[in-house]
Amino acid sequence: MASVLLESFLKQKLIRPQEVLVSRRSAQALHAIKKHLKVHTTQDNQKLASSVEYLWLGIKPTQAAETLKNLGPSLSKHSLVLSMMAGVSIKSIQKLLSQPKISVIRLMPNTPTLLGQGMTGLYFPSNLSPKHQKTILKLLQATGEVYQAKQEKELDAVTALSGSGPAFIYYLAQALIEGGKQSGLSQKASQQLSYQTLQGAIAMLKQSQKNPEELIQQVVSPKGTTEAGLNYLKKHQVQKHLSQSIKAAHQRAQAIKRELESCLS
């Protein structure tokens, strides 16, 4: 997600390549980033920490302990840390950095950010200055919509719904395409029909004053094709299973938090 955000910021000229320093474990991946985005790169995390005003963490939660302990000693207490790690709390990040008073923002973007159609969940700590809040909001609002959480714990639910959500939509798209093919359509036709149907339905949800159930009823006619399909979905509790997929992702984010905090206690 870090590379998606970075590419979006650069594409919209919100930041300049010469202002960016990127670190990756893989030298090959780092070379590809430098070639593609024209930014500065390093594999020295301590150099990175001592050089930046805004430290964006796009690492996996499993890498948090090792990476943050390495960054902490070189990081200025005046730096701003922005974490995209699922389930890793501000308190845990501060503890791993050995910087109990450093400002840490938690955010969870999603992949449509690259197209300016992203949804980012964001939580500002109470000690963050209005100037920093304005700067970060300006960057993120340029990549799509921003939901500003009132409590940090909301970020776990945001991660499950909008962070993981695109994958669930793609999974649904696969099912629609396969259904079209099984009904006699070509792969190309099924894709076109499925993608535009999804796009149009989302536009209706966003622009209409009606809720999803009311929009469903606009399409359904007694003993019609839509009713037959919906009855099958209801019989197999598809709505329940989709809801449970969000719950499962949420529970995993909470489990990551507990696992890391137990290691730190």
CATH number, domain at 178?
A: 1.10.3730.10
Tell me: do 119 and 46 sit in the same domain: yes
C-alpha distances out from residue 43 to 78, 80, 187, Å: 23, 20, 44
Do 182 and 133 have their domain in common?
A: no
Residues 190 and 133 in one domain: no
Quick one: 119 and 243 in the same domain? no
Residues in the chain: 265
Shared-domain flag, residues 141 and 181: no
Tell me, yes or no, whether 89 and 183 share the same domain: no
- Who contacts 20 (Cβ-Cβ below 8 Å, separation ≥6)? 6, 10, 37, 39, 40
CB neighbour class for 25 (10 Å; exposed up to 12, middle 13-18, buried from 19): exposed
- 141 with 59, same domain: the answer is yes
Domain membership of residue 157 (yes or no) is no
Each residue's pLDDT tens digit, 255-265 = 999 998 888 87
pLDDT at 227: 97
- pTM as predicted: 0.91
Average pLDDT over residues 6-15: 91
Q: Are 145 and 81 members of one domain?
A: yes
Q: Which residues, in sequence order, are CB contacts of 192 under 8 Å at separation 6+? A: none
Domain count, the chain: 2
- The CATH number linked to 138 is 3.40.50.720
pLDDT band at 241 (very low <50, low <70, confident <90, very high): very high
Domain shared by 70 and 142, yes or no? yes
- Boundary (domain end) residue, out of 125, 150, 175: 150
Rounded to an integer, the average pLDDT of 124-140 is 94
Q: Say whether pLDDT at 135 is over 90.
A: yes
Q: 197 and 144, same structural domain?
A: no
* Cα–Cα–Cα angle for 180, 186, 191, rounded to 5 degrees: 65
Q: Report if residue 257 sits inside a domain.
A: no
Inside any domain, residue 74: yes
**Whether residues 204 and 96 fall in one domain:** no
Is 264 part of any domain? no
| 155 inside domain | no
Contact call for residues 60 and 85 (beta carbons, < 8 A) = yes
What domain range includes position 39?
2-150
pLDDT in tens, 175-231: 999 999 999 999 999 999 999 999 999 999 999 999 999 999 999 999 999 999 999
Residue 25 pLDDT grade (very low, low, confident, very high; cuts 50, 70, 90): confident
Tell me the longest C-alpha to C-alpha distance in the chain. Answer: 69
Asked if the structure places residue 64 within a domain, the reply is yes
- Tell me if 256 is assigned to some domain: no
Flag whether pLDDT at 2 surpasses 90: no
**Residue 52 and residue 91 in one domain:** yes
Residue 258 in domain: no
